[in-house]
Chain A
Amino acid sequence: MLSVRNIAKRLPDGRLLLKNISFEVEKGEFVGILGESGVGKTVLLRCINGLTQPDHGEVIINGINGDGGPQKINEKRGQELRKIRRKIGMIFQGSILVKRLSVLENVLTGGLGRISTVRSLLYGFTDEEVDSALGAIDKVGIRSLAYRRAETLSGGEMQRAAIARAIFQEPCLLLADEPVSNLDPKNTEAVLDYLKPLTQEMAIIGVFHAPKIVSQYCTRAIGIRDGNVVYDGNPFLSDNTLEAIYSTGKHAPGATVDKTFPSPRETVTEWKQEDKDGAAMQIS
């Protein structure tokens, strides 16, 4: 469904942040991207929905907007780009909510791409749309907060409201940039429990800090180091793999991977080595 091919991105200061990133994602997958801070995980996500333009390579999305044909996101502009973005949800680190709007209003903004500009400017959401938004809020268990202002919510509640917005948007692909990094363990678990079942409808690509979370919730892990994919496979990461992704295994945040699940449950995705730099690639 999504195909990222040979993405390269240079920072404004001239440093080559992403050198050659390629992977494919299908519906039903929950991909966890791992890597050290500053390795370009966020930039990679932004390249996928066109918020950032890659210097090289292409991002191709397939089977959205009914026509089914493959579309190169990084070559689209204006109306066409917006049409693709309507099918790509996004959750940021911290809150994406407009603090002064109610939770319901925030969730309704997830549907802005579906309704005409004129209707949306007049707050022309229909009763059916409001019901459907309330349904999405219900799904993440914060129905009682629907009419509260977003600014009165706790961090965990805000992130759940953000997920409700993504549910209401009905995307094919959801990008989650460190959705749980500011949350305590209990809220982290709750947010991920709401995210995971969404893979029935879409693919999710998430950036995470803790390998433990990836092995617990994701169906697949991608490790990035020095601008290249150094690991692409099942989410149960060995110490060797962690060492390949992070400078040393010791420095990895939450490096203690739960060893009680040693065998891969999901099919290991084949990763074609197109990287001429010969970066270490390991599949545990």
Chain B
Amino acid sequence: MRVVTGKTMSRYQKYILPAGIFGFLLLGSAVMCRVDPVALIAGIPRGIDLFGQMVPPAWKTFPELVGPALETVEIAFVGTALGASLSFVIGLVAAHNMNSNRILRNTVRTILSVERALPDLIVVLFFVAIVGLGPFPGVMALAASSIGMLGKLFADAIEEVDPKPVESMVAIGATKAQVIRYAVLPQVIPSLIGNTLYRFEVNIRMSIFLGVVGAGGIGYNLVTSLRLLEYQEAMAAILTILILVTLCEKLSERVRRIIVGQELLR
């Protein structure tokens, strides 16, 4: 028996009862989901068979994959760039030290958090619905879903800038645009670049997925191959995607290091 916040709790209250409730919920949910280890084990031979059908990958289709793979990267690149630029402007509007209008600020922040709560798939389907199939709705979807996260992060970064240089520039008659350019931007640029690169990596993965719902890129090739039961072609697409994602992450890491390296040098 121990004293917990002024009340004594028995061992039963403290451990057994919560464990019982948790166990009941877990077991119940698992049954509802028809979790069946036997089926999993029974499926192993089928898995091996499927993998056997996938190798060797149909590398002859590789030339056809290069175009869509590049398109995937392009969608992510344009979407991230567009989203990040808009996020900076939105960040300025949502930061209390840049915008004294509280109603506008809170409205923008609320919209951002609603956007973050919205599953990305819904955002994509929305843009497919309004601008049609192809890479453009993909770009718009990535830009829109990037704004939810980057807009908030940028606003927070802007709110944390050292106020003294900002005020000292206001004090000597600089315009608002000049203050943002010379006092705010230099202070937030590391955070801006770091978060944007991270979002680019997220967007590359999302961009692959976009092809599945018909918004362009290599994801479309993968889904088509799987539907046509061309497993060797599907494997080629999967490997291309793996290479693509790895390359992009290495690139982003490299860019980040170059910028951090400059930080240390200067």
Give A contacts to B, CB under 8 Å: 49, 51, 81-90, 92, 94-102, 105, 109-110, 112-113, 117, 120-121, 149, 169, 171
Contacts and interface: CB of A to CB of B under 8 A. Distances in A.
What band does the interface of chain B fall in when counting residues whose beta carbon is under 8 Å from A?
20 to 34
A258 B266 CA distance: 45
- Top 7 nearest A-B pairs (CB, nearest first) are A85-B173, A96-B168, A113-B173, A86-B173, A82-B173, A112-B174, A90-B171
Contacts of B54: none
Interface in B169-194: 169-175, 177-178, 181-183, 186-187, 189
A51 B170 contact: yes
B162 A99 contact: yes
B230 interface: no
B162 A112 contact: no
Nearest to A147: B266
Interface of B: 162, 164-165, 167-175, 177-178, 181-183, 186-187, 189, 266
A99 B173 CA distance: 20
A188 B108 CA distance: 46
A98 B181 CA distance: 11
Looking at chain B's contact residues, the main secondary structure is helix
A16 B83 CA distance: 48
A87 B171 CA distance: 10
A117 B181 CA distance: 10
Contacts of B182: 98, 101, 105, 109, 112, 120
Contacts of A105: 182
A149 B173 contact: no
B162 A82 contact: no
Given A51-B167, A100-B189, A149-B266, A120 B181 contact: yes
Nearest to A166: B172
Given A92-B164, A98-B165, A149-B266, A117 B175 contact: yes
Given A92-B164, A98-B183, A100-B189, A117 B177 contact: yes
A87 B92 CA distance: 28
Nearest to B168: A96
B164 A94 contact: yes
Contact of A112 (B165, B172, B187): B172
A109 B167 CA distance: 13
B173 A84 contact: yes
A84 B171 CA distance: 10
A113 B171 CA distance: 10
Contact of A169 (B167, B172, B189): B172
